[in-house]
Amino acid sequence: MPIYLHDIPLSTAIERLNSALAEAGLDKPLQTETIPLDVHALGRVLAAPIWAKISSPHYHASAMDGFAIRAHETNGALQTRPISLNYGPQTEYVDTGDPLPAWANAVIPIEDVEPLGEDGQPSETPRRPALIRVRAAVPPWSHVRPMGEDMVATQLVLPAGHVLRPVDLGAIAGCGHDSVEVAIPPRVAILPTGTELVPIGHPPEEGDIIEYNSLVLAAQVEEWGGEARRYPIIPDEYQAISARVREAAQAHDLILLNAGSSAGSEDYSARVVEELGQLLVHGVAVRPGHPVILGLINAGDRKVPIIGVPGYPVSTALTGEIFVEPLLARWMGRSPRQPVEVDADLTRKITSPAGDDDYLRVTVGQVGERTLAAPLSRGSGVITSLVRADGIVVVPRGSQGYPAGERVKVRLYRPPSEIQKTIFAIGSHDLTLDILAQFLTGHDRRLASANVGSLGGLVSLRRGEAHLAGAHLLDPESGQYNLPYVDQYLPDQPVLVMALVGRTQGLFLPKGNPKDIHGLSDLKREDILYVNRQRGAGTRLLLDYHLGQAGIDPEEVAGYEREEYTHLTAAAAVASGRADCGLGIEAAAHALDLDFIPLFNERYDLIIPKIHAESQLLAPLLTILEDPAFSRTIAQRPGYDVEVMGTVIGEL
Amino acid sequence: MPIYLHDIPLSTAIERLNSALAEAGLDKPLQTETIPLDVHALGRVLAAPIWAKISSPHYHASAMDGFAIRAHETNGALQTRPISLNYGPQTEYVDTGDPLPAWANAVIPIEDVEPLGEDGQPSETPRRPALIRVRAAVPPWSHVRPMGEDMVATQLVLPAGHVLRPVDLGAIAGCGHDSVEVAIPPRVAILPTGTELVPIGHPPEEGDIIEYNSLVLAAQVEEWGGEARRYPIIPDEYQAISARVREAAQAHDLILLNAGSSAGSEDYSARVVEELGQLLVHGVAVRPGHPVILGLINAGDRKVPIIGVPGYPVSTALTGEIFVEPLLARWMGRSPRQPVEVDADLTRKITSPAGDDDYLRVTVGQVGERTLAAPLSRGSGVITSLVRADGIVVVPRGSQGYPAGERVKVRLYRPPSEIQKTIFAIGSHDLTLDILAQFLTGHDRRLASANVGSLGGLVSLRRGEAHLAGAHLLDPESGQYNLPYVDQYLPDQPVLVMALVGRTQGLFLPKGNPKDIHGLSDLKREDILYVNRQRGAGTRLLLDYHLGQAGIDPEEVAGYEREEYTHLTAAAAVASGRADCGLGIEAAAHALDLDFIPLFNERYDLIIPKIHAESQLLAPLLTILEDPAFSRTIAQRPGYDVEVMGTVIGEL
């Protein structure tokens, strides 16, 4: 049976799902249960409103330690003309929370009276005196918590659909309940499929993919209040998948069938759904993630919704957010989660397919007065783009993208307070930044770094789009690092140039140096494929400078046009055999267990506009540069010289 | 031993605690453990950074279903001059995720080629053809996910101190880990003390207090990542408390000793702390909650921090937020939680003691362009003030308060998106509003209602501080309800006046009518104590009107000056014996099982400025007024006539 994958708009897909759910009676809250009122009720969703069973307080309570009295008996009392009240008939000691005696209508705090003994002297037993002397009239109901001050029996305390927080549990107990009726967590079956999958913990061979989508989905379901069951990996066999879906439908409210939702040779999901029930949607115009399947499985007289979740991890996670969360919310009777939104300016141009709702991952930071959103990798296989994301910008269907500087709405993944603590670093990449990021978390700061090369970093600083830039720009004329470039690119900004590290640049080679490479001159050889860094990278400038010195034309270097954006990915290109050699720092070679020919020593600086260098936000960063624990950690990595760390190279 | 309670500023108290913790070596993360990478890792705090063990992908992977090729072999292919590649030596079929053959460096998606058979016709086995025909040159590395595209071995994936989210678990698995090192939840002992306390579920007698503070504290601790143990209630006996504290110190990282922290006759907490260890602080200048105790208990060679938590429930919960959360955060190595803040305008004047940091609970709503913060009850015994609060305004030490309209910072308890969904109702109170609130949650709206009486509601509307007001204002001259008042108070605003319900007003009487009351004329009797409603309440106007008709002078009515703010609290005053009778609606009498003498029928309207009546925000409210389920629910309550519900009384 041919399955046709055809993308429809997200809103249409949701409508189609909703009307099928309504028809099947699955558009309302599912079952409820009554549970004891204890800490396990935290986070559960109220299935029925809480009406107060008793008032709180349920009697008139003293609000202070003091003496219960009849207010009118103090009328006329003055500082100079006190009134005495006899213990017993006229006054009685009460602690905070004690019931007011039936005859009393006010309390005087103990510190405002003089408890006296029979002899008229201060009483030896001030809480059981013979009489008290009062020097001011007391209004009725002073220092009394009247019955019902907090809650009056029968009033609404909390509505159904409310997610229980700690104080709610207190209020529910206070108005006389000892149990609560809550939504039962919807049961969600998660079925990973794919012959190429191996479970977490199995060292993967080439071609194996570590199956973690089911973990991400299960964790999402649990976070949203559902109960997840992860099934073992199912191979790409129609019968096996079909049998497992039928089994899962028996005891679950929702099935998530991960991958196989596209139209490839081993994509059976749509066919399984069609044969076991009703295929509602195959293909939704969202990016990433469009081969989504929505359907219903017949399980006896029940119908069980099934979602075919696309296999790329970013698609998987976003499908969870878009389709699973609202469904769980509805089944538990709570509102769907709504992210905090902020306005931010895009740091670069974005193009987007006009036919799709495009979910763009961004990091967000506050630089001066501006809130900025820097787009992250758009690959649907790049789960770190979600890990690093501070939020999502949805480029709606109908739009082909936005120019740089466009004001966009960001749906935040992190609280705005974390955005305020984010240091935006842009420019050249160095492994030291990872370690700096780690140290900064200990100082309540977060480092978001984007790798655009040294020159790109200076351009960003000029546009006011970063707090600092890492750079290692060799000026061929003066032999100086960075300062001439800062002069040229940031003529109008007071800037601090501070050394971070000295480091060794050289050639990455496969272990054992199979092609017998000895220096830059080998790059001319026809059998050598080089991997380059991108234009504007300091390492690219370094190569060009030394190629020039050696009289080598870049045209002669095979692979010169192949660009990587970081030392590590350039090293990875060599490690994987995609290139025979590349230029980069020793630490990267070491990290990927490559051979390394050291060629040049260079200095890597932090370029920090003064306005940021003197800010509260960056203060911890400057502290860390003086922390011996930090320099020790860096010095342990090969190819780093920490002698210069923290030295002010220039103030411009 | 005399214990002296002396309030010190919050910042001083925190400094004193911190330096004692530092001295005891308790200012850093506590123990860690390594746990398997599964859903139980969700929400845990990383105790060590995650460095990638392997790259992801860990090989070059096809990004599409298609044919692996050598890119240069397609050079020169054109639409009109295709190039053929032989299956086997020149091309090979790959599914998405398959490793690229070692000789290949690009993939052509299957939909972009023509798979042909031996005979040059379209192949019967398109994934295993004899050859493929290509009509465009393919750049190298097209449709390939290069090794390390997502993560490169050795790079930093997540820093220590990070709280694990679903996507993080995926990334950690993807870079080769199958376990994570996380902080062990700090163990917190919660010791409720008080002879007057009864556990949840025990029907309380007069003087009994339902012990729910330990539940609130335990839920807070769990929510913040700790592990809470609630001990049974300890009576107010020095030895019993001391013994329990010593026991708890053995197996816990923190002790919360609830109540007994003041300086009353049965307040032993400070003495216990002083005798078992070190009393650091007794009294902190925060409101509510100042009798806080901070100390350290000696437990062998360990020191265990102890916090004496004040007993009023609002004080308890705020003490948790101020002292316990940051301590748990530090012990787990994560950042303390920081609330989202918004700017809002106070709806009324606030006075505050200059010596204290004053934690004011507010509801927050967006009315037109303005974000408003309406102060809630300030009683430290009123836990519903925290339940209803959308956030906290801290009036800092040194300030004596703010005028109405002051722009203040609110630390939100709810996401800002919920604030956007909040309908601000102000004015007269009716039980129908509770039921309306319940129905609105089903429409993704929230009703925040403040009871200031009918006239107060109109004043708020005039100031643009509410979306609607409930009112039942009888005009003595015309006999009309509400319209003459709307004319007078809102002359410049287009307003919709819509009937909510008709209802019966009458006298609340204790069951059995012991004082033999038959009508308003009995209010003149000297043995009758009346409970009144506040100035501006419709019920107050109704009373005044009918007293005037009957020729009764308010001076003759004992208790006329005693004001309650709602029908229910007025009824509670009668139920508790604090008054002999009061005027109010039948439903309130019924709720508190009182006798009731029906006197007058009246109409209760909603007054809605047109600009809000036509808004998206209020649309669901107007829908509910037409929902038979809603009117049925109201009609079931005694004393309500739903005939008029939804009728437009006037458009002014």
Would the CB atoms of A96 and B264 count as touching at under 8 Å?
yes
Would the CB atoms of A417 and B340 count as touching at under 8 Å?
yes
Closest CA to B260 of B233, B285, B278, B221: B233
Token couple for A409: 């709405």
A231: left (phi over 0), alpha (psi -120 to 50) or beta: beta
Residue type, B554: P
Asked if A469 contacts A454 with a C-beta cutoff of 8 angstroms, the reply is yes
Which residues in chain B (181-240) have CB-CB distances under 8 A to chain A?
A: 194, 196, 200-201, 203-204, 206-207, 209-210, 212-213, 215-220, 222-223, 228, 230
Using DSSP, state whether B537 is helix, strand or coil. coil
Which of B42, B167, B575 faces A386 most closely, judged by CB atoms? B167
Tell me the ipTM for this assembly. 0.91
Kindly state the helix (H) or strand (E) to which residue A167 belongs, with its residue range.
Answer: helix A166-174
Q: Between β-strands A563-564 and A530-533, what pairing exists: parallel, antiparallel or unpaired?
A: parallel
How many residues belong to chain B? 652
Residue type, A17: L
Separation between Cα atoms, residue A254 and residue A330, nearest integer Å: 13
Task: State pTM to two decimals.
Answer: 0.91
How many residues belong to chain A? 652
**E-only strand ranges, B443-564:** 446-451, 468-471, 495-509, 530-533, 563-564
Closest CA to B71 of B108, B97, B96: B108
User: How many Å from the N-terminal Cα to the C-terminal Cα in chain B?
Assistant: 71
Distances (CA, A) of B109 to A290, B184, B644: 17, 49, 67
What is the tens place of the pLDDT at every residue in B218-240? 999 999 999 999 999 999 999 99
Would the CB atoms of B264 and A569 count as touching at under 8 Å?
no
Distances (CA, A) of B310 to A148, B233, B292, B317: 21, 15, 6, 9
Backbone angles phi, psi at B395, to 5 degrees: -90, 110
Q: Between β-strands B106-109 and B66-69, what pairing exists: parallel, antiparallel or unpaired?
A: antiparallel
Separation between Cα atoms, residue A529 and residue A526, nearest integer Å: 8
Other CB atoms within 10 Å distance of the CB of residue B337 = 15
> Residue B184 pLDDT more than 70?
yes
Which residues in chain B (623-652) have CB-CB distances under 8 A to chain A?
A: none
Q: Using a CB-CB distance cutoff of 8 angstroms, which residues of chain A are in contact with residue B258?
A: none
Separation between Cα atoms, residue A288 and residue A23, nearest integer Å: 30
Is the Cβ of A86 closer than 8 Å to some Cβ of chain B? no
Separation between Cα atoms, residue A301 and residue B502, nearest integer Å: 46
What is the tens place of the pLDDT at every residue in A227-243? 999 999 999 999 999 99
Other CB atoms within 10 Å distance of the CB of residue A304 = 26
Would the CB atoms of A63 and B381 count as touching at under 8 Å?
yes
What is the tens place of the pLDDT at every residue in A115-143? 999 988 999 998 899 999 999 999 878 89
Residue of A387, A413, A444, A630 to mutate, interface with B, max B Cβ within 10 Å: A387
- Identify the pLDDT of residue A3: 45
Beta pairing partners, B641 = B502
Q: What one-character-per-residue DSSP string does B25-60 give? A: T-SS---EEEEESSGGGTTPBBSS-EE-SS-BSSS-
Would the CB atoms of B340 and A335 count as touching at under 8 Å?
no
Using DSSP, state whether B533 is helix, strand or coil. strand
Q: Using a CB-CB distance cutoff of 8 angstroms, which residues of chain B are in contact with residue A576?
A: 59-60, 146-148
Closest CA to A482 of A468, A467, A499, A465: A499
What is the tens place of the pLDDT at every residue in B479-500? 889 999 999 999 988 999 999 9
Q: Which DSSP category does B95 fall into? A: -
Separation between Cα atoms, residue B651 and residue B611, nearest integer Å: 12
Residue A495 C-alpha, separation from nearest chain B C-alpha, in angstroms? 29
Secondary structure (H, E, C), A7-35: CECHHHHHHHHHHHHHHCCCCCCCCEEEE
Kindly state the helix (H) or strand (E) to which residue B624 belongs, with its residue range.
Answer: helix B619-625
Using DSSP, state whether B474 is helix, strand or coil. strand
Would the CB atoms of B127 and A265 count as touching at under 8 Å?
yes
Closest CA to A572 of B581, B147, B366: B147
Residue with tokens 């709180």: A56
User: How many Å from the N-terminal Cα to the C-terminal Cα in chain A?
Assistant: 71
Separation between Cα atoms, residue A189 and residue A307, nearest integer Å: 10
Asked if B37 contacts B172 with a C-beta cutoff of 8 angstroms, the reply is yes
Closest CA to B218 of A38, A172, A164: A38
Token couple for A304: 């069980």
Separation between Cα atoms, residue B211 and residue B221, nearest integer Å: 17
Cα angle value A638/A642/A643 (rounded, 5°): 135
Is the Cβ of A37 closer than 8 Å to some Cβ of chain B? yes
Closest CA to B413 of B383, B436, B447, B388: B388
Cα angle value B62/B64/B70 (rounded, 5°): 55
Low-confidence ranges of chain A (pLDDT < 50): 1-3
Is the Cβ of B117 closer than 8 Å to some Cβ of chain A? no
Separation between Cα atoms, residue A508 and residue A529, nearest integer Å: 12
Token couple for B12: 């001083």
Closest CA to B248 of B325, B162, B189, B330: B189
Kindly state the helix (H) or strand (E) to which residue A108 belongs, with its residue range.
Answer: strand A106-109
Q: Between β-strands A254-258 and A302-309, what pairing exists: parallel, antiparallel or unpaired?
A: parallel
Q: Using a CB-CB distance cutoff of 8 angstroms, which residues of chain B are in contact with residue A153?
A: 572, 591-592
Residue B197 C-alpha, separation from nearest chain A C-alpha, in angstroms? 10
Separation between Cα atoms, residue A259 and residue A237, nearest integer Å: 13
Residue B206 C-alpha, separation from nearest chain A C-alpha, in angstroms? 6
What is the tens place of the pLDDT at every residue in A389-444? 999 999 999 999 999 999 999 999 988 888 889 999 989 888 899 899 989 988 88
What is the tens place of the pLDDT at every residue in B277-310? 999 999 999 998 788 999 999 999 999 999 999 9
Q: Between β-strands A407-412 and A530-533, what pairing exists: parallel, antiparallel or unpaired?
A: unpaired
- Identify the pLDDT of residue B265: 64
Cα angle value B180/B183/B185 (rounded, 5°): 130
Other CB atoms within 10 Å distance of the CB of residue B462 = 16
Is the Cβ of A339 closer than 8 Å to some Cβ of chain B? yes
Please provide the average confidence, as pLDDT, over all residues in chain B.
Answer: 92
What is the tens place of the pLDDT at every residue in B368-413? 889 999 999 888 899 999 999 999 999 999 999 999 999 999 999 9
Is the Cβ of A558 closer than 8 Å to some Cβ of chain B? no
Would the CB atoms of B381 and A49 count as touching at under 8 Å?
no
Which residues in chain A (477-516) have CB-CB distances under 8 A to chain B?
A: none
Residue of B3, B6, B39, B123 to mutate, interface with A, max A Cβ within 10 Å: B39
**E-only strand ranges, A40-94:** 50-51, 61-62, 66-69, 83-86, 92-94
Residue type, A184: I
Asked if A584 contacts A571 with a C-beta cutoff of 8 angstroms, the reply is yes
Q: Using a CB-CB distance cutoff of 8 angstroms, which residues of chain A are in contact with residue B567?
A: none
Taking the CA of residue B96 as centre, how many other CA atoms within 13 Å lie in the half-sphere pointing to its CB?
19
Across the A:B interface, residue pairs with CB atoms under 8 Å apart total 348
What is the tens place of the pLDDT at every residue in B544-571? 999 999 999 999 999 898 888 788 889 9
- Average the pLDDT over B453-466 and give the result: 92
Closest CA to B230 of B267, B272, B263, B200: B200
- Identify the pLDDT of residue B431: 84
- Average the pLDDT over B249-263 and give the result: 89
Token couple for B440: 């609105």
Using DSSP, state whether B488 is helix, strand or coil. helix
Question: B135 burial class (0-12, 13-18, 19+ CB within 10 angstroms)?
Answer: middle
Which of A141, A166, A421 faces B317 most closely, judged by CB atoms? A166
> Residue B1 pLDDT more than 50?
no
- Identify the pLDDT of residue B2: 39
Asked if A323 contacts A346 with a C-beta cutoff of 8 angstroms, the reply is no
Taking the CA of residue A631 as centre, how many other CA atoms within 13 Å lie in the half-sphere pointing to its CB?
17
Taking the CA of residue A69 as centre, how many other CA atoms within 13 Å lie in the half-sphere pointing to its CB?
30
What is the tens place of the pLDDT at every residue in B115-163? 999 988 999 998 999 999 999 999 878 898 888 889 988 888 999 999 9
